[in-house]
Amino acid sequence: FAAAGFRAAPAVADAAATEVAIKEFTGGIIPAEAGKLTLKTPEIAENGNTVPVSVSVESAMSGDDMVESIAILAEGNPNPGVVVFSFTPMSGAAAATTRMRLAKTQNVIAIAKMADGTFYMDKKEVKVTIGGCGG
Amino acid sequence: MATPRPRVKVPKTAAAGEVITIKTLISHDMESGQRKDSEGNTIPRKIINKFTCDFNGQTVFSCDIDPAISANPYFEFNAKVAESGTFKFTWVDDDGSVYEAEEKIEVK
């Protein structure tokens, strides 16, 4: 997926490039910022090189109430793509945590793709003291 | 750079059907392709681009990774275990290298 999406973005991502990346993930929809998806980030990240990020969706993880994948995007990085987590019924829970780089203060966006074809989105602003795409 | 060294943390035992938490880390520079060296040349991208966790041959969790993931990529996720078996963890490098780790779990 990473190869197919997010790569075509310009040298510096912006809201427009992020919108394109969201639509690539959802197949053309901008999901409403409400619903079962929770994105957790620090309000202030002193070091943009390693910013903790967690996503979770309340889900039975079976049948139609199943989270297929969650994409994380960063609006102000050179490319919006951060990671796409893919789940299976064996995941047991739709939750994952990682650490990301943020070049500057910006919005971080998470989008969950459900097995029934619906999407959820959550957005958080992270204030970055020292940027993490160091040149 | 030294050979990437994976580290994984899986509980030794679990109850049948329990949802456990797994933590993984691998030492890797995750060279983003955005940085320049002292002469102003771009340092080529070299990252771990894919991580997969299988249990007894079936995929539990995977991620497609972009350069915005920090050096020494860390992933924490869950798995529902119905039986004893082996977790297999696989990291794929841009240069084609594959790094692997395994952990057993006993279901009581």
Which residue does chain B place closest to A99, by CA atoms? B70
CA distance A43 to B48: 27
How far away is chain A from the Cα of B101, in angstroms, using its nearest Cα? 18
Cβ-defined contact of B78 to A91 (cutoff 8 Å): yes
pLDDT per residue as tens digits for the range A59-116: 999 988 999 999 999 999 999 999 999 999 999 999 999 999 999 999 999 999 999 9
The per-residue pLDDT for A63 is: 85
The yes-or-no verdict on residue A9 having pLDDT over 60 is no
* Average pLDDT of the segment spanning B75-90: 97
Backbone angles phi, psi at A2, to 5 degrees: -55, -35
Within 8 A by CB and 6+ apart from A123, the residues are: A33, A39, A107, A108, A109, A110
Bridge partner residues of A67 (DSSP): A114
Q: DSSP characters for A45-80?
A: EEETTSEEEEEEE---SBTTB-EEEEEEEETTSSSS
Which residue does chain A place closest to B24, by CA atoms? A98
Residue A90, number of CB atoms within 10 A of its CB = 19
What ranges do the domains of chain B cover?
5-107
Chain B segment 34-53 residues within 8 A of A by beta carbon are 34-36, 49
Q: B103 near B90, Cβ under 8 Å?
A: no
ipTM: 0.95
Question: How many beta-carbon pairs below 8 A join chains A and B?
Answer: 105
pLDDT per residue as tens digits for the range A12-53: 567 889 999 999 999 998 898 777 899 999 999 999 999 999
CA distance A118 to A98: 24
**CATH T-level assignment (fold) for domain B5-107:** Immunoglobulin-like (2.60.40)
| Residues of A with Cβ-Cβ distance to B64 under 8 angstroms | 1-2, 83-84, 86
The per-residue pLDDT for A130 is: 82
